[in-house]
Structure 1
Amino acid sequence: MQRQMTPIVVLGIFLLILASALYITAEDSVYKLKTEKLPTDLNFMPILGNGHLGYTVFGDAIYMNGIYNGEAGNSRRARIPNWLNLSVSRLQYEEWELNIIPDTYELNLKDGYFRWLFAYEANGLHVQLEQRTYPHRYYNRALIYELFVHYTGAFDPLLIHLSRKPGSKSDAFDFSPLGTNSSTFGTKMLRGVTRQLEHPDFQSELRTIFVAFSDDWENELSRTFELPAGQEDFYYRYVMTADGNEKVARKEMEDVMTLTIENLLKKHTNEWHNFWLNFNIQIDGSIELSQTINAGIFYLANSLPSLHTKQPNDAYFGLSPTGLGRGQLDTDYEGHSFWDTEIWMLPTVTQLNTDWADQLFEYRFDHMSGARYNANKTGYRGARFPWESAYTGTDVTNPCCPEISTQEIHISPDIIFALQQHYAVTHSTEWLCRVAWPMGKEVADFLVSRVYDDGQKYHIKDVMGPDEDHANVTDNVYTNVVTKKALEFTSFVRPLCTENFDPPANWLDIAQRLHILYDESLDFHPQHFGYERGEIIKQADVILLGYPLQYQMDNSTRLNDLNIYEPVTRASGPAMSWSMFAINFLDVGEIEKANKYFQRGYKDYVRPEFKVWSENRMGFVGSANFLTGIGGFLQAIINGYGGIRFHLHDAGHSVMEVRKAHLIADYGFIINGIKFANSTFALKIHKNGTTLCCLKKGSLDIEFLVNAEVYKINDNFTINIVDNAAFIRTI
C-alpha cells in the first residue's frame, strides 16, 4: 500500500538548487570527482565527516568523535546504524515504473558534499532528480540528506519510492526512545548507551549519546511520496543530529530545520570555502594529480573538527589511520590513534591549520595519566604512550599483536619529536611551556629508565622499529635516533620553561652516548644489531633518519641507506614508504628515482572513482581511506618537491628552510598557505626557480636570509630563489 507523505518544503527553486555548485567556476573542475559507476568495493566510497560525526557514503555505519565500546584491546569505535542512508529506489508514473540507476555520482570537494543525479525524458515527460548528503560543517552535530525532484510534462501524479538501508542493529549501543518535544518539531530522539567500558580505572561510566531525527521513520525501510501533476518541484530534507548532551542534539535540530534550502547549504559551504582559502595546492597542467591532491586534503580535513561551529566543540579524541568515518573493523585499526598521527599526518595537518595540530597534541596531553599508567605497569618511570590509544589513553592494542604493544616504544619519542617540529613552526613559548614541556619531561623519564649502559654506550633492547617484520631487536637505529632527538629537545626546553637552567645530566649524556649503529666500511646504518643486508623489511625504517628526523649524516651515507633498503622493502608495504623514498632521493639529488617513487606512492594506492586511498597496493588487503598514506603523499609535495623544512636553531630561533625545489614530473605548482611563526606564505615552483611570497605577516618578527643577505619580512615581501637554500627565521 502506497503512503502519501507531505514533504517538509516545496519551493519552485529546483533549477537553482540543481545548479548548486555554488561558487564553483570552470577552473574548479579539479575539485569535482564525477563517475558513472561506483567502485566495485564500496569501502572505497567517499568518507564524509566534520570532526564530530563521520560515515562512508552508502555505508552502514556512523561514528562519533570519542565514542568507543569494548574493553582494552577490544575497544573500537561504537557503530551507530546509518539511519541517514536514504536513496530513491524507483519512480512510478501511471503504469510506468522505473528503477533508479543514477547517471552521475559526484563528490564536490570544494563545497564538501556528495550527490547523485538522474534524469529521464520520454513522451514529453521530464524528470530530474538530485540527492545530496553531507555532514554539516557549521552545524556539526547534524548529518543531512536532501532530495530534489523537478517534474514537467505530466498529467498524473509521480510516486517517489524512497528506501533506507541503515544496516544491522548496533552491537555497541543499547538504544531506547525518548519523548518528543514540541519545540523541536515533534523530533523523535533515541538515547544510546555503550555496553562496555574501555578501562574501569580510567572510565567510570558507559558513554551515552542522544540522536535526534527530523522525521520519524520508526522501523520503516521505505516510504512513498506523491508529487501531484502540475506541481513541478519537490524537496525533502532528512536530518540526524547526535551529541553526548541531549539539549545540544535538540537545539542543533531546531536550528537546522528553521533554515531555508539555500542557507542550509551556504552555512556549510562557507566553512569549506574558508578552509580552501587557508590552504591549497595548485598543479599546472595535470587534472588527475590535482584531483588526487585535493581529494587527499579533503579526506584528511573532514576527519578533523570544524573550526567555526554553532555549538562549541567537544574535546577531540585523535586522528586515526582511516579517519572518523571508519573504525569498527580491524582493518580500520578500530579507530585508534598511533604514531601515524605524529609522524605521518601532523606535518601536513599543521600546514592545513595550526589549530588542528594543537588539538591533536591536546589529545595526547589530556591522556598523560594513561601514559603514566602504561609506563608504571610495564616497570618503568615517567610516561609511556601506548602504541594504540582511544578514549582513556591506556593501551588498546589489538590482542592479536602483544609484541607490538610491548616493543614499539618509539611512539613516545615520536610524539616529542612532533612537539619539537610544531614549536619550530609556531614558535609559541606559551604552548611550549604549557604542553610540550610537561609531556617531554615525563617521556624523558621513561626513556632514561628504558635504556641500559654498558659502560661505553647506552642501548635499547627488546624493541621493534617501524619495520614490523623484525621483532625483539636491540638498537633499532630509528628508535635510537628519535630517542636521542627527544632527549635533546627536552633538554633544550627545560631552561625556557623552568628555573632549572641545566637539564638532568643523564638526559644529554644518554643522548650523546646512545648507540647509533653505523657500518664504517660500507658507510650505511644497519637497521638493528645483527641485521644482515638483503633481509626483507615491511616498510621505511632506516631511511626515515634523513627525513623526517633530519639526522645529520654525510650525503654518501644517506644515499647508501637508500640504495641498500630500496630493493628489500616489501612491495606490499604501505603507501607512505614510497613517499619517504621520494623525499629522501630528492635530498640526495637522485631526481629520477624520486619521481619514480613519488608516482608509485600514490598511483598504486588511489582508487580512481573518488580518489580514496588504500593502505596497500591494489590486489593486497588493506585499510580504506588510509589517511596515513595521504599524509606521506602530501609531505612529499610540501617538504620534498617544495623543499620546505623546519628547524630549531641552537640560539633559540625557529627556522623555515626553503631548499631547492623541484618540478613534479615537469609540472609547476603553487603551495598557498604555508604556516610559519604566525605568518602565511605562498611558494610558487616554476621552471626558472622558486618564488616565495608573504601572504600575511603575523605578530612575530621574522627575517629572510639568502646569500648572506638579510631582509625584513612584511605583507608585501616577495623574492625569487634560484638555486641556493634560503631561510626565514624568528628574530
Structure 2
Amino acid sequence: MPKMAKSIAFGIFLVILTSLCLPSSADDSAYVIKSEKLPTDLNFMPTLGNGHLGYTIFGDAIFMNGVYNGVGGNSRRARLPNWLNLSVASIQYEEWALSIIPDAYELRLKDGYFRWLFAYEANGLQLQLEQRSYPHRYYNRALIYELFVRCTGAFDPLLINLTQKAGSKSEAFDFASSSTDSNHTKRYKTLHGATRQREQPDLQPKSREIFVLFSDDWENEYTIEVPAGEQEFYYRFVITADENEEVAWQEMDEVLKHAPESLFKKHTEEWHKFWQDFNIEIEGNLEMSRIINAGAFYLANSLPSLRTNRPNNPYYGLSPTGLGRGELDADYEGHNFWDTEIWMLPAVAQFNADWADQLFHYRFAHLAGARFNANMTGYRGARFPWESAYTGTEVINPCCPEIAAQEIHISPDIVLSLQQHYPATHNTEWLCSIAWPIAKEVAEFLVSRVQDDGQKYHLKDVMGPDEDHANVTDNVYTNVVVKKALQFASFTRAICASANDLPDVWIDIVQRMHILYDENLDYHPQHLGYKRGETVKQADVILLGYPVQYAMSNTTRLNDLKNYETVTRESGPAMSWSMFAINFLDVNEMEKANLYFQRGYRDYVRPEFKVWSENKVGYEGSANFLTGIGGFLQAIINGYGGIRFHLDGQRSLMVIQKTHFLPTTMGYSINGIKFAKSKFSLAIHKNGTTLKCLEKGDLDIELSLNSQKYAIDADSSFDLDGNVAFLRTI
C-alpha cells in the first residue's frame, strides 16, 4: 500500500503561486524554453547540476563531483539512484481518479530550474499543479523537488499520489542506513555507502564514502491528503549528499528552515549573478538566442557554485557530457579529455575566471597522476592521460588503448590553454603557482618523447585529433602544439624560476621541430604520408589557425581549409564545423563561415529543450554534449566577435579583430568579456561596433585604435568602426 500523509507540509502564500504561474515578460522570453511534449529519447532531457551534484530530469541517476567507481579503464562516475525523480501520477477526488499528464514543460534558464504544469477544470473544481526540480545553487549539497497546488471548488479532500522512479539499485555502492544522529534535533533517513572499487590503488588508498539524507522517509509511492477547502498547498522533497555526514546533516537542517520563497530566492540569486556577469544578447532571432542561452546554461550547470553555504569540495573537472551523466560509455564515463582545455575552457573563462582557475587547478592537483602515467609508459615529467578521473592516471575505456598510447597532444594542449589564459587574466601569481609547475613537467615529458635525427625533431607513433589515422609520424597539429608548449614553458621559467637561464633543449626543440608543409600545394599535410583526399574524422590541421594561432599566411590557411573541408566526415562531432567557421572568418570567406556556423548547431540541437547531441540527427552520439556547446560559443565570441588573447612580451594583449554579423540576426552584444581584471561589452550592430568598459579592475590598460592610444577608465566607450582594436596591460 502507498504511504499516506495528511497535510504534511505548510501552506504557501497565494502571491507566490500567482507569480510563478504568470507568463514570462518579453525581456525573459529568451530565457524560457517551453515544450508541450517530451523528447522521444529522454536522453535529451535537460541535465542540471551545481558542481557538487548533477542529474538529468526524469533520468535514473544522480552523480557527485569526483566520486568514481571501478579499476583503471573501468572507472566511471559512481551512480546513485535518482531518488529525486518524483512526479504526481494521479489525483483522487470523490469517486474518480484523474491521471496527470502535464500540459507544458518549461526550462527556466534565468532562474535555473525545470518545471512541469497541469491545469484541470470540471464541475466547479479548478485545479493547478506546478512541479519543480533543481539542484540548489547556494545550498549546493541539496537537490530540491517542489509541488505547488492551487485548488478551488473542492468539497472533499484531494488525495495526491506521488511516484518515485529512482531506477535500479546502485552498481557502485552497497548502501546501509546510518544510525548517527549527529546531535541534530530531527531524524532524517540517512544512507551511507562506499565505492566498491578504487581507480588506482597506488594513488587512491581508500574508497570514496558518501552520505545521502532524505527529508522524508518513503520510496516508490506516497499519497498526500489535501484537506477539503484548502486552496493552496506546498510539498517539498529534499536530498542532501556529501562525503562528510555532518555537512549533509547541516545542509538539510538549514534548507528545511527556509520558507519556499526564501529557499528559492537563495537559488535564483546565484543564477541571476551568472547572467549578469556574462550573457550574449541577440537581436532579431529568438530561436538562436534561446540556443545560446541554453548552451551557456548547460555548460555552467556542471561548474561549481561560486558562492555556497559551505565550502566546496575539490572540483574534478568538466566531462564532455557534464556532471549529471557519466556511468555509461556514451557519457565518456564522466572522464576529462582535451575537450576541457581546447573546447570548453575558452568560453568558461569568459563566464568567470574563477571557474577557469578551478579547471586548471584540477590538472595541477593531479600532477602526481600525470607523473605516474609518464613513468609507467617509460617517460619523464608529467604525461597527462587521455582520460582522467579521480587519481589523474590513465583510465581510458578498455576498448581503445591505442588512443591513450598515441594521442599525446593532450599534455601540450593543456599548456596551450595555460598560455592563452594568462594574457586574458594577467595574473602573475597564478602563472607562477599553477601554470609554471604544469608547463615545466609537461616540457620534461615532451623532451623525453621527441626523437632527434640530427636535423629535425620528430614524433612517431602518434595520433592527432583525427582518430581515423593511427600510428602516424609527425602529425602536424601535435608537433605544433608541442612547439607552442615548450615556448610557453620557456616564457614562464623566465618569469617564475629562480634561475633565468633556459634549458637549451627546450629552445632547440622549438627551433628544430619538424612542421610538415607542402610548398608546392601551399598547405599542411596532416601527417607524414597523408594523401590529399583521405577522409578524416574531425577538425585536425585546420586547428592550427584557430585555436592554436600558429603563424602562417592567409593563403596557406585558406588552402588548409579547402583541402580538409571536403574530406571531414559527415558523422563527425559538432565542434569541427564551429572551427571551420572561425577559420573561414579569419580569411574573409564570409559565405563559407556562415554556412559552417549554422551547420555547427542546426542539426545538433534537439528542439524540445535545446539539448546538444555529439552527432547530427541520424547518427548515434552523446547527449548534453558540452564540447559542441564550447565550440559553438567560441564561434560567436572569438569568431564573429573577433576576440583573441596574446602575449606581447611580458604584457598581455587582447585583440578585437574585424567583427562580423551573426547570420540570421539583426545584431548582437557580448556582455562580460574578461580581460586583465576588467570587464567589457562588445556590441555589433548595423550602425557600427562599440566597445564599452563595464568594470575597471586594478590593472592599467590602454587601447590602441587607429594609431591613437587611450587609457581605459570605468565607463569608457569607443566606436571601433571596423578597425582592429588592441588592449594592452601597461
- The TM-score with structure 2 as length reference comes to 0.98
Offset of 1:227 from its aligned partner? Answer: 1.2
Matched position secondary structure for 1:183: coil
| Contact 1:371–1:393 (Cα < 8 Å) also in 2 | yes
Matched position secondary structure for 1:540: coil
The residue that corresponds to 1:626 in the other structure is 625
| Contact 2:8–2:224 (Cα < 8 Å) also in 1 | no
Counterpart AA for 1:41? D
The separation in 2 between residues aligned to 1:141 and 1:21, in whole angstroms, is 28
The separation in 2 between residues aligned to 1:517 and 1:3, in whole angstroms, is 70
The residue that corresponds to 2:576 in the other structure is 577
1:327 partnered with 2:320: no
The separation in 2 between residues aligned to 1:21 and 1:112, in whole angstroms, is 16
The separation in 1 between residues aligned to 2:15 and 2:124, in whole angstroms, is 18
Offset of 1:226 from its aligned partner? Answer: 1.3
The separation in 2 between residues aligned to 1:562 and 1:389, in whole angstroms, is 32
The separation in 1 between residues aligned to 2:180 and 2:379, in whole angstroms, is 53
Matched position secondary structure for 1:630: helix
1:33 partnered with 2:30: no
1:198 partnered with 2:236: no
The answer for unaligned runs of 5 or more in structure 1 is none
The residue that corresponds to 1:465 in the other structure is 464
1:480 partnered with 2:500: no
Q: 1:587 to 1:7 in 2, by over 3 A?
A: farther
Matched position secondary structure for 2:20: coil
The residue that corresponds to 1:149 in the other structure is 149
The separation in 2 between residues aligned to 1:717 and 1:22, in whole angstroms, is 39
The residue that corresponds to 1:183 in the other structure is 184
The separation in 2 between residues aligned to 1:486 and 1:180, in whole angstroms, is 51
| Contact 1:22–1:111 (Cα < 8 Å) also in 2 | no
Aligned residues: 728
- Could you report, residue by residue, the CA deviation over 1:273-297 in whole angstroms, capped at 9, with x for unpaired residues? 0110000000001110000000000
Counterpart AA for 1:176? A
The residue correspondences of 1:316-465 to structure 2 (distance < 5 A) are 316-465=315-464
| Contact 1:184–1:251 (Cα < 8 Å) also in 2 | no
| Contact 1:318–1:363 (Cα < 8 Å) also in 2 | yes
| Contact 1:180–1:186 (Cα < 8 Å) also in 2 | no
The residue that corresponds to 1:654 in the other structure is 652
The separation in 2 between residues aligned to 1:666 and 1:271, in whole angstroms, is 32
Counterpart AA for 2:658? K
| Contact 1:647–1:654 (Cα < 8 Å) also in 2 | yes
The residue that corresponds to 1:67 in the other structure is 67
Offset of 1:2 from its aligned partner? Answer: 6.2
Q: 1:183 to 1:640 in 2, by over 3 A?
A: same
| Contact 1:14–1:149 (Cα < 8 Å) also in 2 | no
Offset of 1:584 from its aligned partner? Answer: 0.3
Offset of 1:4 from its aligned partner? Answer: 3.6
Offset of 1:456 from its aligned partner? Answer: 1.0
1:277 partnered with 2:271: no
The residue that corresponds to 2:567 in the other structure is 568
The separation in 2 between residues aligned to 1:190 and 1:2, in whole angstroms, is 22
The separation in 1 between residues aligned to 2:517 and 2:17, in whole angstroms, is 64
The residue that corresponds to 1:45 in the other structure is 45
The separation in 2 between residues aligned to 1:22 and 1:142, in whole angstroms, is 27
Counterpart AA for 1:417? L
What percentage of aligned pairs have identical amino acids? Answer: 69
Offset of 1:563 from its aligned partner? Answer: 0.4
Q: 1:635 to 1:21 in 2, by over 3 A?
A: farther
Counterpart AA for 2:703? F
- Could you report, residue by residue, the CA deviation over 1:532-590 in whole angstroms, capped at 9, with x for unpaired residues? 00000000000000000000001000000000000000000000000000000000000
The separation in 2 between residues aligned to 1:623 and 1:18, in whole angstroms, is 38
The residue that corresponds to 1:213 in the other structure is 214
Counterpart AA for 1:183? H
The separation in 2 between residues aligned to 1:34 and 1:443, in whole angstroms, is 47
Counterpart AA for 1:678? K
The residue that corresponds to 2:83 in the other structure is 83
Matched position secondary structure for 1:20: helix
The residue that corresponds to 1:605 in the other structure is 604
Counterpart AA for 2:662? I
Counterpart AA for 1:138? Y
Matched position secondary structure for 1:646: strand
The residue that corresponds to 2:668 in the other structure is 669
1:112 partnered with 2:112: yes
The residue correspondences of 1:708-723 to structure 2 (distance < 5 A) are 708-723=707-722
Matched position secondary structure for 1:160: strand
The separation in 2 between residues aligned to 1:22 and 1:438, in whole angstroms, is 53
Deviates more, 1:181-190 or 1:73-82: 181-190
Deviates more, 1:180-189 or 1:426-435: 180-189
- The TM-score with structure 1 as length reference comes to 0.98
The residue that corresponds to 1:260 in the other structure is 259
The separation in 2 between residues aligned to 1:298 and 1:146, in whole angstroms, is 21
The separation in 2 between residues aligned to 1:6 and 1:729, in whole angstroms, is 66
Deviates more, 1:666-675 or 1:353-362: 666-675
| Contact 1:661–1:689 (Cα < 8 Å) also in 2 | no
Matched position secondary structure for 2:462: coil
The separation in 2 between residues aligned to 1:338 and 1:438, in whole angstroms, is 20
The residue that corresponds to 1:590 in the other structure is 589
Offset of 1:21 from its aligned partner? Answer: 7.2
Matched position secondary structure for 1:556: helix
The separation in 2 between residues aligned to 1:627 and 1:329, in whole angstroms, is 16
Offset of 1:180 from its aligned partner? Answer: 6.2
The separation in 2 between residues aligned to 1:486 and 1:12, in whole angstroms, is 58
The residue that corresponds to 1:239 in the other structure is 238
Offset of 1:24 from its aligned partner? Answer: 5.9
Offset of 1:441 from its aligned partner? Answer: 0.8
Offset of 1:166 from its aligned partner? Answer: 0.4
- Could you report, residue by residue, the CA deviation over 1:374-410 in whole angstroms, capped at 9, with x for unpaired residues? 1111111111000000000000000100100100000
Offset of 1:324 from its aligned partner? Answer: 0.2
The residue that corresponds to 2:298 in the other structure is 299
| Contact 1:12–1:232 (Cα < 8 Å) also in 2 | no
1:56 partnered with 2:40: no
Offset of 1:669 from its aligned partner? Answer: 0.3
| Contact 1:547–1:580 (Cα < 8 Å) also in 2 | yes
| Contact 1:184–1:253 (Cα < 8 Å) also in 2 | no
| Contact 2:24–2:32 (Cα < 8 Å) also in 1 | no
| Contact 1:579–1:597 (Cα < 8 Å) also in 2 | yes
The separation in 2 between residues aligned to 1:622 and 1:445, in whole angstroms, is 36
The separation in 2 between residues aligned to 1:6 and 1:274, in whole angstroms, is 39
| Contact 1:67–1:77 (Cα < 8 Å) also in 2 | yes
| Contact 1:537–1:568 (Cα < 8 Å) also in 2 | yes
| Contact 1:11–1:234 (Cα < 8 Å) also in 2 | yes
The separation in 2 between residues aligned to 1:211 and 1:462, in whole angstroms, is 47
Offset of 1:502 from its aligned partner? Answer: 2.3
The residue that corresponds to 1:497 in the other structure is 496
Matched position secondary structure for 1:699: coil
Offset of 1:3 from its aligned partner? Answer: 4.8
| Contact 2:425–2:677 (Cα < 8 Å) also in 1 | yes
Offset of 1:26 from its aligned partner? Answer: 2.3
Q: 1:674 to 1:388 in 2, by over 3 A?
A: same
The separation in 2 between residues aligned to 1:557 and 1:714, in whole angstroms, is 40
The separation in 2 between residues aligned to 1:184 and 1:513, in whole angstroms, is 70
The separation in 2 between residues aligned to 1:161 and 1:290, in whole angstroms, is 38
Deviates more, 1:662-671 or 1:143-152: 662-671
Q: 1:722 to 1:23 in 2, by over 3 A?
A: farther
- Could you report, residue by residue, the CA deviation over 1:626-664 in whole angstroms, capped at 9, with x for unpaired residues? 000000000000000000000001x21110000110011
| Contact 1:585–1:591 (Cα < 8 Å) also in 2 | yes
The residue that corresponds to 1:524 in the other structure is 523
The residue correspondences of 1:159-178 to structure 2 (distance < 5 A) are 159-178=159-178
